[in-house]
Copies of this chain bind each other. A is one copy, B any other.
Amino acid sequence: MCYTWSMEKTLLQSSAHSVLIARCYSRDVLDLIADKWIALIFALLEKHPTRFNELQRAIEGISHKMLTQTLRNLERRGIVERKIIPTIPPAVEYSLSSLGTTLIPLMAALRQWAEEHMEEVEQAFQAYEEREEKA
């Protein structure tokens, strides 16, 4: 295991964070959670357990494959739980684990920032393009 930020600060008097260390597992975790599809999946799961097709219908533009893949990843990492309801045809319900619920505020904040600042970002982008054309 790699050393954490607090350990490093104490032991080495350095200000480096462990996510800055390439081989630290926290880097993989960061890579896992810094993902737009997860932020969108959370928009649904934070409210109530949701079925596969319900998720796909709600999240416009996500492919069957990406949704399966992302859900499987989250399940493997202990962030979502998968419950099979033995009906015919079978239904599968996804929900947040207790670890997953600790991510709710973060994921909500990502979505919110995107929605709140989309105009600003769009304007900055257009302004940049205009500046480029002049140059």
Chain A interfacial positions (CB closer than 8 Å to B): 1, 4-5, 16-36, 38-40, 43, 58-61, 75-79, 99, 102-103, 105-106, 109-111, 113-115, 117-125, 127-128
Contacts and interface: CB of A to CB of B under 8 A. Distances in A.
15 contacts: A5-B115, A19-B114, A20-B59, A22-B61, A26-B114, A27-B114, A29-B115, A34-B35, A76-B124, A76-B128, A78-B125, A78-B127, A102-B113, A105-B109, A109-B109
B78 A128 contact: yes
A75 B128 CA distance: 8
Contacts of A102: 113, 117
Given A34-B39, A124-B77, A111 B60 contact: no
A124 B105 CA distance: 21
Contact of A29 (B1, B17, B25, B121): B121
B27 A36 contact: yes
A135 to B, nearest CB: 14
A21 B121 contact: no
A1 B118 CA distance: 10
